[in-house]
Amino acid sequence: MPRGRQPGQRIDSRALSGTIGVTNLRRMVTQLVRAMAEPGLSASMKLKLVREVNQLRGDIARCKVEAAKRKADALLAEPSSSQPV
Q: Note the pLDDT tens digit of each residue in 33-84.
A: 888 888 888 999 989 989 999 998 998 898 889 889 999 998 888 887 665 5
Record the pTM. 0.61
Residue 82 belongs to some domain of the structure: no
Residue 4 belongs to some domain of the structure: no
Residue 1 belongs to some domain of the structure: no
Residue 3 belongs to some domain of the structure: no
| H helices present in the chain, as ranges | 12-17, 22-36, 43-77
Dist CA 17 CA 66 (whole Å) = 9
User: Could you give the number of structural domains in the chain?
Assistant: 1
Residue 80 belongs to some domain of the structure: no
